[in-house]
Structure 1
Amino acid sequence: MSLSPQFLDELRARVTLSTLIGRSVKLVKAGREFKACCPFHNEKSPSFYVNDDKGFYHCFGCGAHGDAIRFLTEAKGLTFIDAVKELAQGAGMEVPAPDPRAAQRNEMQAGLHDVMAAAASWFQEQLGGIAGAEARAYLQRRGIDERLVKKFGIGFAPDSRGKLRTALKSFGDAKLIETGLLILVEDKEPYDRFRGRVMIPIQDQRGRVIAFGGRILDKGEPKYLNSPDTPLFDKGRTLFNIERASAASRKANRVIAVEGYMDVIALAKAGIDEAVAANGTALTEAQLERMWRMTEIPLLCFDGDKAGQKAAVRAAQRALPMIAPGRTLRFALLPGGQDPDDLVKSGGVRAVEQVLDEAISLDELLWRAEYEAQPLSTPEARAGLRKRLGDLAGSIQDRDVRELYQAEFRRRFDELFGSAQRRPFERNFQPFQPRQQRRPGQPWKPEPLPPSRAAHAVNKSGVNPMVTRAVMAGLLRFPALFSSHMEAIGQLQLGDERLDRLRAEAFEAGFSGGPLEKEGLETILAEAGLGAVVEELKATNALAFSFLRGNADPDRAMRDLSAAIEAMAARPLLDAALREATERLGMAADDAGLEEQRRLLAAREAADRALTDLALGEDGGGA
């Protein structure tokens, strides 16, 4: 909808900003202005000012600034057009309709809102009447007192097929059917959808009732019955409690997604108002987007049973393609078999906060779920785990985040199934004798290979520490490679805690957005307490790598540095593959296995030779 500047200026002029903000913030007169503690961040001394003459608010603490429309979008989480409509309604102005059809649709929806408001009032009356005694007893057993009943507008639908229809007959069956309050079956009279249930209103961000969730009192299915999709209600785009959580999340700087309506109410009982819930379905992409508009890292808190764990994994997999720098999820894992209501009853708000404080990251949840999915006692099962993790990381649309997830999953996998686990085989590993050199019946016996030229630069267990330091020194001279070769550099086994820290600081600096420059990186590393390491690396000159020589051609130096990084990253992977091949041959030798071992030996020798040539300055001639 396009609104003219003249209309918006007139709307702002008619709104008294202090009156609008004063509905939710305690304002104190300060000369010609008003002041208060800022609603957008926690503070003890007032730094938030409202100026009616100029029509804006400003916080000198956090920088929040805006007009009446901005306040509603920021404080209540309304969309721009919803904020305009709310202000226009209070100011006695009519929002221009873009065309006759839109005007007709708006008029129809306004009528449906009246129907839902009347239904909510009727359900509340039934809860307080004689018919609501059983429902009141149920709420009391659940620990839902009168304050919570009023806060959430809870009501009761009698176990009758026509009482609601009769009570709201003035609206006509058509509107009751369109709002989902009546069910229409061919050749039969419409009848009430909700019967014998505690009724929980679902509201939009403006606080208008748009649907209901009904919880059955006795045993039966479904336990919860929700309104169908209607012109007012899109269950895949709406979050229960969004109207209260939007404002609360600004102060708490978080939003918590739980499984159901009663979980939200339980957390409200503990004083946690920033909770929302899906409407009887798994979290959708649209609902995740709404939460991300409220905070960068929503907390998902699902029940501790198997169903809750599966729901958490489904939400994680659904969110994965949409995550980006500074935009992800965390997961609070409830104790086995418990839901938020159980936690509140057993330990109060302290127990809830402890669980929330221990929330795990998105990558940790996915790793645990895949690792525990099946036994990993066979190579095939481990290969399956690696493939599943690769597929998950590959679904991330943001390239930088995708590459980091791939590196993180690979690191975790290698820690469990890589070189550390295979060291017992490494001590005894030597290549097999060629089959034609073994006499019939002669048992296999390992025979050491003669030392190769590459062994002078690369030792048996991996890359020589001098080569490692030389490459890290080269990266200080050409820091742009930290970004372009992030995955390979992340795989390097540096063998030095200080070099690990340097690599991590360089990666973090590269995430800031701009290209890494030599001087800028050195400054960042010095501020991180790594200045001495930088100076040591800059003094590295024991090997003849082109990227260590000041007179080398920069293009050649960068090519050589890239080749050295790739060779170093490949070396431990080849070692691991060789150990696996050797282990298999020890159990059952065959020609295919011997050929695979020879191929891997040749590949490892080639990687070692490449590093040696580069270290001796023999790749492509002098500088």
Structure 2
Amino acid sequence: MAVPPEFIEDLRQRVPLSDIIGKRVKLVRKGRRFSGLCPFHSEKTPSFSVVDDDGFYHCFGCGVHGDAISFLREIDGLEFMEAVERLADMAGMAMPIGAPQDPKVTQQRKAALDILETTATFFRAALDREDGKDAARYLLNRNLDAHIIQTYRLGYAPRGGLRAALSAKGFSDADMLAAGVLRKSDRDGSLYDYFRDRVMFPIENRQGKVIAFGARALGDAQPKYLNSGEGPTFSKKAVLYGWVQAREGLRRQLPLVIAEGYMDVIAIHKSGVAAAVAPLGTALTPEQIVLVWKLHNEPVLCFDGDAAGQKAQMRALERFLPLLEPGKTARFATLPAGKDPDDVLREAGYEGFKNIIATARSLVDTMWDGIMADHDVRQPEQRAQFWQAIRSQIRNIGNNQVRSAFSDEIENRIAAMRTQMRGGTMPMAARTARRPSTGMINRHKALLALLLAHPALISGAFETLSMIDSGDERLEMIKKAAIDALISDPDLDAAALNYHLQGLNFTDELADLTGADMKARLPFDPATMNSDTAEAHLGELVALINGKSGVFSKASQQRN
């Protein structure tokens, strides 16, 4: 319903802004203004200013500013009308009368919220009981401590007892059915607890109220994961798991990751590397994409590195295109095949996952390479089909300005491809591999092995490395991927670079470059030499590849 402007202005005058913000931030009066630590970003020196007379706040650190309504919207994730209602309640003012609401629907929703909150408390308590020990052991084995369990309000649904506990608090069976915690048997009409013997993940709305549950089976029960059904409080297409916790992480300037499941979200949050949310067992919906952008303008989507994961990546990209706006986009990260974020964090540590996020690719790069992968652009008809396909995708962008900017970028890339073709060269992914001599290819492999063991050498040799072509498509691809990774993150060490390249499906090549057979052919061990020696060997290898002799070349030739 529409709210008269004069009512909004009256609200702002009735409740001092410092009273509203002071409930969340410790404010110190300094003349006519108040000062404190900004609640929207991490800082040690106060730069957040509140002026009651003018009714606004401003942070001189991160630039955020606004009034009472915008503060409530940002800090609690409220919609405009929800913030107005909250402010009216503080001021003791009645909301203007708008369209009549069905009292029965309002009462049912309130009862459902009360039941779900009580149920979450019941499940949390059950986790500490004897019958919850298997669920507690599962969480312990996933390295979740008491703080994380409390933060996400994790619990255990016992095999029975919830209906009786809710009845004792005065809730009716009809309200329990509407809230989705009780079900009626199709066989005999009897009532039973919907969630039984499962680890429970409360799903909260943006105000932190429990609106549904996700549940993971213990043992072999099917389905493995079970969600609450649609109801008066819950529409899964419009909710993201972990939204409240992610909002807190983003105030510390963390990147935002869109993960696949509950445990991935929790593991990422626990790492402190990023904030995370997840859709509820389905592909991202337009409503969820808009929700994500309320948190972060450029979220990172993580996908498995296998073929299925890459197809899912392209489907997700296609869902973003119609909704793109100036400044609103997404990046795409590729995980090692068969691994989810929780796996990566356990196996590669926080730095390994952090590097994957840092090197996530832009939407336009992901789209270009993803569509090109389905076409052999060496063939003119395939090339034309590729151009047609990518132009077709651009037409799906709804915003005129964004569509025009993407179109310009794609046409520039197509023009560059035409120039390459006229010059007799092929795009990297489409080159025809030559058959280099065994000795020469081993020199190129030695060069790559050295760079993989000492990534710091790459930064000082971009131009030289780009001018060397082994003629082997896969070797050139891994070299380019390593260079791109070091451009994005110059501090990558050998382990992090190796893990990043594994995520790009170079596992076999890495094994060849670092395995025993390769070491037997090399006159040195890249992993054991110091940086100065490595730099000297790099110069010798480059000279040898370019047809010049050197101290190293004789030893290399003996090995070959």
Tell whether the structures are fold-level matches, with TM greater than 0.5. yes
2:171 is matched with which residue?
171
SS in 2 for 1:171: coil
1:542 is matched with which residue?
none
CA shift, 1:109, in A, is 1.5
Which whole-Å CA distance do the structure 2 matches of 1:335 and 1:3 have between them?
52
The Cα offsets for residues 392-412 of structure 1, whole Å up to 9 and x where unpaired, read as 112122334334434434554
5 and 107 in structure 1: CA distance in 2 versus 1, 3 angstrom threshold: farther
2:190 is matched with which residue?
189
The Cα offsets for residues 92-148 of structure 1, whole Å up to 9 and x where unpaired, read as 666456344255433331121101101111111111111110001100111111110
The Cα offsets for residues 397-435 of structure 1, whole Å up to 9 and x where unpaired, read as 23343344344345545655x45345559xxxxxxxxxx
SS in 1 for 2:34: strand
1:279 is matched with which residue?
280
Q: How high is the sequence identity, in percent, across the aligned residues?
A: 42
53 and 377 in structure 1: CA distance in 2 versus 1, 3 angstrom threshold: closer
SS in 1 for 2:203: strand
1:362 is matched with which residue?
363
1:298 is matched with which residue?
299
SS in 2 for 1:282: coil
The Cα offsets for residues 456-477 of structure 1, whole Å up to 9 and x where unpaired, read as xxxxxxxxxxxxxxxxxxxxxx
104 and 315 in structure 1: CA distance in 2 versus 1, 3 angstrom threshold: same
Query: Are 2:405 and 1:408 equivalent residues in the alignment?
Result: no
1:206-355, aligned counterparts within 5 Å? 206-252=207-253, 254-272=255-273, 274-355=275-356
Max Rg structure? 1
1:468 is matched with which residue?
none
376 and 421 in structure 1: CA distance in 2 versus 1, 3 angstrom threshold: closer
1:47 is matched with which residue?
47
Q: Which runs of 5+ in 2 are unaligned?
A: 426-560
360 and 78 in structure 1: CA distance in 2 versus 1, 3 angstrom threshold: same
CA shift, 1:294, in A, is 2.7
C-alpha contact (below 8 Å) 1:213/1:224 kept by paired residues = yes
CA shift, 1:210, in A, is 0.3
The answer to which of 221-230 and 32-41 deviates more is 32-41
Which amino acid in 2 is paired with 1:135?
Answer: A
1:461 is matched with which residue?
none
Which whole-Å CA distance do the structure 1 matches of 2:46 and 2:193 have between them?
52
CA shift, 1:171, in A, is 1.5
CA shift, 1:300, in A, is 1.8
91 and 338 in structure 1: CA distance in 2 versus 1, 3 angstrom threshold: farther
C-alpha contact (below 8 Å) 1:39/1:251 kept by paired residues = no
CA shift, 1:178, in A, is 1.4
The answer to which of 1-10 and 339-348 deviates more is 1-10
200 and 307 in structure 1: CA distance in 2 versus 1, 3 angstrom threshold: farther
Query: Are 2:37 and 1:37 equivalent residues in the alignment?
Result: yes
1:601 is matched with which residue?
none
CA shift, 1:379, in A, is 4.6
1:142 is matched with which residue?
142
1:180 is matched with which residue?
180
The answer to which of 177-186 and 27-36 deviates more is 27-36
CA shift, 1:30, in A, is 3.7
**TM-score normalised by L of structure 1:** 0.62
Which whole-Å CA distance do the structure 1 matches of 2:404 and 2:11 have between them?
48
1:196-595, aligned counterparts within 5 Å? 196-252=197-253, 254-272=255-273, 274-373=275-374, 378-413=379-414, 418-421=418-421, 423=423
126 and 397 in structure 1: CA distance in 2 versus 1, 3 angstrom threshold: same
Which whole-Å CA distance do the structure 2 matches of 1:264 and 1:24 have between them?
26
123 and 407 in structure 1: CA distance in 2 versus 1, 3 angstrom threshold: same
User: Aligned Cα RMSD in Å?
Assistant: 3.0
211 and 205 in structure 1: CA distance in 2 versus 1, 3 angstrom threshold: same
181 and 317 in structure 1: CA distance in 2 versus 1, 3 angstrom threshold: same
C-alpha contact (below 8 Å) 1:253/1:295 kept by paired residues = no
2:117 is matched with which residue?
117
C-alpha contact (below 8 Å) 1:115/1:176 kept by paired residues = yes
Which whole-Å CA distance do the structure 2 matches of 1:2 and 1:84 have between them?
11
SS in 2 for 1:420: helix
Which whole-Å CA distance do the structure 1 matches of 2:14 and 2:419 have between them?
71
C-alpha contact (below 8 Å) 2:56/2:65 kept by paired residues = yes
Which whole-Å CA distance do the structure 2 matches of 1:89 and 1:267 have between them?
37
1:7-26, aligned counterparts within 5 Å? 8=8, 11-12=11-12, 15=15, 17-26=17-26
Which whole-Å CA distance do the structure 1 matches of 2:185 and 2:192 have between them?
9
CA shift, 1:380, in A, is 4.5
328 and 188 in structure 1: CA distance in 2 versus 1, 3 angstrom threshold: same
SS in 2 for 1:233: coil
**TM-score normalised by L of structure 2:** 0.68
Which whole-Å CA distance do the structure 2 matches of 1:32 and 1:424 have between them?
71
CA shift, 1:220, in A, is 4.3
Which whole-Å CA distance do the structure 2 matches of 1:102 and 1:17 have between them?
34
Q: In the comparison of the two structures, how many residue pairs are matched?
A: 423
Which whole-Å CA distance do the structure 2 matches of 1:270 and 1:28 have between them?
34
231 and 43 in structure 1: CA distance in 2 versus 1, 3 angstrom threshold: same
377 and 421 in structure 1: CA distance in 2 versus 1, 3 angstrom threshold: closer
Which whole-Å CA distance do the structure 2 matches of 1:125 and 1:224 have between them?
21
Which whole-Å CA distance do the structure 2 matches of 1:9 and 1:424 have between them?
68
The Cα offsets for residues 37-59 of structure 1, whole Å up to 9 and x where unpaired, read as 32334554322123456654233
Which whole-Å CA distance do the structure 1 matches of 2:96 and 2:33 have between them?
33
424 and 368 in structure 1: CA distance in 2 versus 1, 3 angstrom threshold: closer
